[in-house]
Amino acid sequence: MTTTFPYPHLDTLSPQLREAVTSRASMNVYRMITHTPGLAPSFLTMANDVLQYNSLPPSWRELVILRVGYRYQADYEIHHHLNIARGVGLSDDAIAAAASGSSHGLSDQEAALLRLTDLLLDTHTLSDDQRAEALKTLTVNQLADFILTVGFYQLVCNFLNAFGVTPEGEGTGV
């Protein structure tokens, strides 16, 4: 039996937290995160920063996020980031590769990112040789942002899956 966690009612939140959630279209992940009002503001800031200030090109960022989502079987994350990925021009081949792990149809850089994402997810680190491989594609700044992106979306996917967050009824304000 699956326990469903209710979304906190927006009118029970502090004015600042309510504004932070409603300014993000009251998406369910943001509504559910308000179960932790002390951590929610920092989570919301990090979520914004990973998307807005990431040194990875947007299509690379979305390839990485989708791969994490598929590996974690986080349907909510996949649902939203498929739309974002298409919006930033990620190819159908790259979207299929994120789902399958196959590098068929990918550029060398995209294939390297997919491989590095899987290595990080599987081993939780990169060896000296793997970091050297990464630095053939990425700058040090991009490698740092890549690692933080993978880690942040692991956190997001764990949260989504553990709380059973779905996209149904988003933005209802309930």
* Structural domains in the chain, sorted by start: 10-51 (no CATH), 56-162 (1.20.1290.10)
Q: Which two tokens stand for residue 34?
A: 């308000």
The DSSP code for 138 is: S
Quote helix, strand, coil % in the chain, to nearest 5.
65, 0, 35
Contact 141, 5 (CB under 8 A): no
Identify which of 64, 42, 43 has the alpha carbon closest to the alpha carbon of residue 163.
43
CB within 8 Å of 22: residues ≥ 6 apart: 10, 173
pLDDT in single tens digits along all 174 residues of the chain: 355 788 898 899 999 999 999 998 889 999 999 999 999 999 999 999 999 999 999 999 999 999 999 999 999 999 999 999 999 999 999 999 999 999 999 999 999 999 999 999 999 999 999 999 999 999 999 999 999 999 999 999 999 999 999 887 776 554
